[in-house]
């Protein structure tokens, strides 16, 4: 009979192996996470860090993408900031567009979100106002271009039926930027309403019940309870929308191509045309870095305001 308690045979390989030192264990633990992160880090370096550094170098050169870059120092920046009047025209158009989208879009989204959270069939309304966000931007732009056409657009046809003259929504410099702003507000409405709806869901209903007992109406509830308690959300939406507005140009490219008379030509579109139509890659890269620097400064200022607002709101 075999003795079940007999010792197992020795494994000479493991017997001879020396135990890992503390330094080796720490080293292996430190290396392992980086091995898992290395694919994503490589992706970030190749597709983000290197292009940013390359654009910084190109902004200091004269390059048309067909010949070798020629180093010219800060002349591209000097030309844009001190000589080129078109750059400053596009810059102020960018400010106008970004400020306009905030002035119209944020109050509208907040009021509608407040109304829909108190309306019957919230799931239905969410699906309706979310549709613009899941539709292709170019497709949306072409639909609006058809609707706002001077001759056969449905908007001017409807105004004609009412006996009102239809303006040149996309061909009149006085209306073109306003039209682009309204289309952009419509596109962003669902996203902003979703953020506001999430903030409204976190407000305790007992605040409203107590105010109603004191005789407060819906307007007072909105102004005295909803807006103050939503201050962090409002500031967040303001920051993200303003940054988006400063770097946006897709609607302008499709609807007006920067016209009429440059009234909708924003800095990002100016940079795009300079790079891919005029092939002035160096100067376009300089425009990109100037715009980046401005957005960075605005972001830092808004983040400081956001932190203060968040503390005060709570």
Among 23-27, 62-66, 68-72, the range scoring the smallest mean pLDDT is 23-27
Distance between CA atoms of residues 141 and 152, nearest Å: 16
- pLDDT category, 5, cuts 50, 70, 90? low
Q: How confident is the model at residue 226 (pLDDT cuts 50, 70, 90)?
A: confident
Per residue in 182-192, pLDDT (tens digit) is 999 999 998 99
Q: What is the dihedral of CA 168, 170, 174, 175, to 10 degrees?
A: 90
Residue 39 has pLDDT above 60, yes or no: yes
Residue 10 has pLDDT above 60, yes or no: no
Residue 312 has pLDDT above 50, yes or no: no
CA–CA dist 76, 98 (Å, integer): 26
> Is residue 127 predicted with pLDDT exceeding 50?
yes
pLDDT at 305: 76
Listed range (29-33, 44-48, 110-114, 265-269) with the worst mean pLDDT = 29-33
> Residue 148: what pLDDT?
94
pLDDT for residue 203 is more than 60: yes
> What is the C-alpha R_g of the chain?
29
Per the CB < 8 A criterion, the answer to whether 302 and 238 are in contact is yes
pLDDT at 276 over 70: yes
For residue 84, CA distances in Å to 88, 89, 90, 207, 233 come to 7, 9, 11, 56, 39
Flag whether pLDDT at 18 surpasses 60. Answer: no
Q: What CATH number has the domain spanning 83-313?
A: 1.10.3720.10
Beta bridge partners of 62: 70
Distance CA 73, CA 57 (A): 9
The dihedral built from the CA positions of residue 31, 36, 37 and 38, taken in this order, carries a sign that is: positive
Q: For position 303, what pLDDT does the model report? A: 78
* Token couple for 314: 């709570």
Chain CA centroid to CA 229, Å: 24
What pTM did the predictor assign? Answer: 0.82
Asked if residues 269 and 60 have their Cβ atoms less than 8 Å apart, the reply is no
Mean pLDDT of 216-220: 83
> 70-71 and 61-62 as β-strands: parallel, antiparallel, unpaired?
antiparallel
For the chain, the domains span 22-71, 83-313
Is 71's pLDDT higher than 60? yes
pLDDT at 268 over 90: yes
């Amino acid at each position: 009979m075999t003795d079940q308690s007999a010792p197992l045979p020795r494994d000479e390989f493991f017997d001879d192996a020396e135990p890992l030192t503390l330094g080796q264990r720490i080293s292996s633990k430190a290396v392992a996470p980086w091995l898992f992160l290395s694919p994503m880090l490589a992706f970030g370096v190749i597709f983000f860090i290197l292009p940013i550094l390359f654009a910084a170098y190109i902004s200091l050169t004269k390059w048309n993408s067909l010949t070798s870059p020629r180093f010219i120092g800060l002349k591209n920046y000097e030309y844009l900031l001190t000589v080129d009047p078109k750059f400053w025209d596009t810059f102020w158009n960018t400010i106008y567009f970004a400020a306009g989208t905030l002035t119209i879009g944020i109050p509208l989204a907040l009021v509608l979100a407040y109304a829909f959270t108190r309306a019957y069939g919230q799931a239905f309304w969410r699906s309706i106002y979310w549709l613009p966000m899941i539709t292709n931007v170019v497709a949306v732009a072409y639909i609006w271009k058809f609707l706002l056409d001077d001759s056969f657009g449905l908007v001017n046809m409807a105004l004609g039926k009412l006996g009102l003259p239809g303006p040149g929504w996309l061909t009149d410099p006085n209306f073109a930027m306003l039209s682009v702003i309204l289309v952009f507000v419509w596109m962003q409405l669902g996203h902003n309403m979703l953020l506001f709806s999430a903030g409204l869901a976190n407000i305790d209903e007992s605040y409203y019940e107590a105010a109603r007992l004191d005789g407060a109406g819906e307007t007072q509830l909105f102004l005295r309870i909803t807006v103050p308690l939503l201050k962090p959300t409002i500031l967040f939406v303001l920051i993200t929308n303003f940054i988006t507005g400063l770097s946006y140009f897709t609607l302008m490219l499709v609807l007006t191509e920067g016209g009429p008379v440059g009234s909708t030509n924003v800095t990002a579109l100016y940079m795009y045309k300079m790079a891919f139509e005029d092939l002035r890659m160096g100067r376009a890269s300089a425009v990109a870095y100037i715009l980046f620097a401005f957005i960075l400064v605005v972001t830092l200022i808004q983040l400081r305001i956001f932190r203060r607002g968040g503390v005060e709101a709570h």
